[in-house]
Chain A
Amino acid sequence: MVTLLPRPKPMRKLDERLGFAATGRSLLAKVFPDHWSFMMGEVALYSFVFLVLSGIYLSLFFEPSTGTVIYEGHYRPMQGQEVSAAYASAVRLSWDVRGGLLVRQAHHWAAHLFIASIVVHLCRIFLTGAFRRPRELNWTIGVTMLLLAIFNAFAGYSLPDDLLSGTGLRIFNAIALSIPLVGSWLAFLVFDGEFPGLEIIQRLYILHVLIVPAILAVLISAHLALLIRQKHTHFPGPGRRHSNVVGSRLWPAYALRSLSLLAAVFAAVLLAGGLLQINPVWVWGDFDPATITAPSVADWYILWIEGALRLFPPLEFHVFGLEVANQFWAGAVLPLLIFGGLYLWPWLDRRWSGDRETHHLTGRPRESPLRVAFASATLMFMAVLLVAGSEELLVQWTGWPVSAIRDVLRVLVFVLPVLAGLVGWWLAESLRRSDVGHTVELGRKELLAGLPRRRHAAEEGAE
């Protein structure tokens, strides 16, 4: 065995003061299971690290103020124009600060990766049942972090006060207004009066750079602390028991692998930031509430709400003399249902599957056709909503009028998730009853065995 590091004197001096060697040794020897799907959470973690580091750099140049300034910089078409300080500083970061555009773009790509990796991580936890007892608390913390990540990304891309994101704030304001009883008060409180007001950028800024990242840091720490205390779950296999954890030691194998992933995440967002343009705010123009650009859409993690707003019919209800405005259903109720469902899932799963055991061994997705069906249906539902949010692209692709596409999507948004759920159930059931390794290896026999009719016949035949 090659020793990794010589025994340095400074380490000894530190130990004289802190006496950490014994704890340190047990920490270094901690065992982590090393299945590749367990690393998705780390992708999210390292995206967060990049967001904080790049965000600190951006905050040195960004001016979170709606007060107007005259832009004097390299972007000629804006020369001498009076715009908000926030917008001017964002354009300055892109055109006048050397390296600023790279950091801005990498920061935005990292936000995309952060949320996308959380979603994939959530799917892995969901499908393998890792949220079951005793990890319900960690699941709750995780769902909260997803919610905060989405909010913070929305706040972040609204900070430059450009035409595209400003329109998004208008919709956010409208959804707040639509909440029954308290809507108008809530909207006026957040925006300091009528839209757009002069305070929203400053308020989003302090939320984006301080409050939400601080909460996220605390939650991430709690998430990791729980993970260390309860130890990670692992898949069943040789030597793997409910009562142990099998894998690599933290040091050196796991740490090096994890550091490699850190470097890979940084590499990915920096290459994207260098080679792919994202959110060119100087093109969109500064926010003018009387004007708009098209397509006027949000980033994908908000776009599903936009898609729902587009598909929902022009219905309005009056309850006890109060209007329940149209945008309330798709804008507020739908996200509430989705996240409410996510929060409640461990208890719903317990109720529907009857499984109240403690689990440290995770199952393969096929072991719970119910979860596979729910995951397929929900992901398909979100996908159709994202397509609805991209109607412009479909119109240009097919040449159909937008109302035709909307009508088709209104049907698909119900039909496709149900189909996806049924197909998901069927495939999971077929896999569960057979011993094939991969879904692609399923043959006719296994697929037929997965169908409900045949299952009863097979059971009867077996007796």
Chain B
Amino acid sequence: MTDAPRTRARLLCAAAVLLAAAALALAAARGTGTVGAPSAQAATASTGSETGQQVFLRDCAWCHGTNGAGTSRAPSLTGAGEEAADFYLRTGRMPLSSPDADVRSGPPAYDDATISALVRFVGSLGNGPSLPILAAGDPVQGRKLFLENCAACHSASGTGTIVTKGEPAPELWHTGKRQVAEAVRVGPGPMPPFAEKQLDQQEVNDIVSYVHDLGAPQDKGGAGLDQYGPILEGLVALLVLLPCLLIVIRLLGKRAPAPEEDEQ
């Protein structure tokens, strides 16, 4: 076995490359979906002295109308209330760079003070629901409700998945508590809204409390692989576990002997 050290080195390199490739593939596969492109208006940071109305007229009125009455480009905001405004602004879904742009979550376009001002203004436009009042919830009840109502789209682990047209139901691990409560009521985009008669405020608080526990706290037993389920687990089994054993037997066993001259 004169080439044994070189073979061993080659195999170890192959192992390292394989593992790196697997890790990259996994990272790439789950990289998209939650962080959308920041809206084009993001550059306009507020100086803090502008009122909500001023920002609204500058950035929102061209689609939603000067009094939020709606235009052909965007719906009316008179019934939206502080609840919807707070959700869409804090999750960066609004403002959109153009009426046809995809509504995606991302970093908020404004700072805290501006958002609060805008929220107050939109709330004043009509009789829409005000900001949800959060209270301590029971995660046991919340888990039950989450699995019944939310898991089908957001996955039982909250890792998120696709819905009919490819726009994902996002992962819930980095969403603020209030935004979860707001989303349940508002039903943004493809998400159905859940009215008070369907899920009362206590039940929403329960769900919020359970969602807060999802993600990293559930990573018991090792690296969670995004708790995506058998697809990623299978990739690890076939691209990491199996190749490791292949490398082991390659090192343990011998290579085939060079064929003799008189062999076929």
Contact = CB atoms under 8 A, between A and B. Distances in A.
Interface string A241-277: 0000000000000000100110011001100111111
Interface string B216-254: 001111111101111111101110011011101111111
A137 to B, nearest CB: 25
B152 A292 contact: yes
Contact of B246 (A94, A120, A285): A120
B245 A77 contact: no
Given A105-B222, A280-B218, A282-B218, A299 B233 contact: yes
A264 B245 contact: yes
Contacts of B162: 294, 391-392, 395-396, 402
B166 A101 contact: no
B99 to A, nearest CB: 20
A116 B241 contact: yes
A170 interface: no
A265 B188 CA distance: 49
Interface of B: 28-30, 32-33, 139-140, 142-144, 147-148, 151-153, 155-157, 161-162, 164-166, 168-169, 210, 213-214, 218-225, 227-234, 236-238, 241-242, 244-246, 248-260, 263-264
Contacts of A105: 221-222
B107 to A, nearest CB: 19
Contact of A36 (B224, B238, B249, B258): B249
B161 A285 contact: no
Nearest to A296: B229
Given A237-B257, A276-B225, A277-B220, A109 B32 contact: no
21 contacts: A34-B253, A42-B249, A77-B140, A80-B140, A81-B140, A95-B220, A113-B245, A240-B257, A257-B252, A260-B252, A261-B249, A264-B252, A280-B221, A294-B152, A295-B161, A295-B231, A298-B230, A392-B161, A396-B161, A396-B168, A402-B162
Interface string A72-93: 0000111111000000000000
Contacts of B246: 40, 120
A19 interface: no
Nearest to A275: B222
A284 interface: yes
A17 to B, nearest CB: 36
B213 A268 contact: no
Contacts of B233: 112, 278-279, 299
A300 B152 CA distance: 21
A293 B156 contact: yes
A277 B254 contact: no
A104 B180 CA distance: 33
Contacts of B222: 105, 273-278
A295 B253 contact: no
A236 interface: yes
A94 B256 contact: no
A384 interface: no
A351 to B, nearest CB: 22
Nearest to A297: B230
A206 interface: no
Interface in A355-405: 386, 389-393, 395-397, 399-402
Contact of B33 (A117, A280, A283, A396): A396
